[in-house]
Amino acid sequence: MKPPWHGILKIPDSRFPGISRAVEKTDVSTPHSVERYTHNWHGSFEGFAPTPAALMSKLPREVPGLRNCHMVGQWTTPGGGIPPAGLDGRNLAIKLCRRDKKLFHTGMPE
């Protein structure tokens, strides 16, 4: 039986005939790999599926009874991926600055 990635190798082969014969090792990431390496729920690599309902939902970022603990990332900002996770962190920094009466400013690392 051919491995599942056999079909994928046809793509570079169509442009560079025979290149697939030079491939010595392949690895495939599945939701199980994501779960194993990152502990993400159900192996979800970008958090919630971006359904209309998920995109409209607002999720809590604090745990009741746990002071100074804030949650940010792909599970608090539906949309998926690094941009919403980064934006979530930025928005939290703005909120904390406002709370502590500090000026929020951004800059490039030296």
Ligand X SMILES: Cc1cc2nc3c(=O)[nH]c(=O)nc-3n(C[C@H](O)[C@H](O)[C@H](O)COP(=O)(O)OP(=O)(O)OC[C@H]3O[C@@H](n4cnc5c(N)ncnc54)[C@H](O)[C@@H]3O)c2cc1C
Task: List interacting residues with ligand X (CB under 6 A).
Answer: 29, 34, 38-40, 45-47, 73-74, 81-83, 85
Nearer to ligand X, 13 or 92 (CB): 92
Q: Which one, of 107, 75, 78, lies nearest residue 90 by Cα?
A: 107
Nearer to ligand X, 4 or 83 (CB): 83
Give least dist CB 92 to ligand X, A: 12
Give least dist CB 62 to ligand X, A: 16
Give least dist CB 86 to ligand X, A: 8
Written in H, E and C, the secondary structure of 54-74 is HHHCCCCCECCCCCCCECCCC
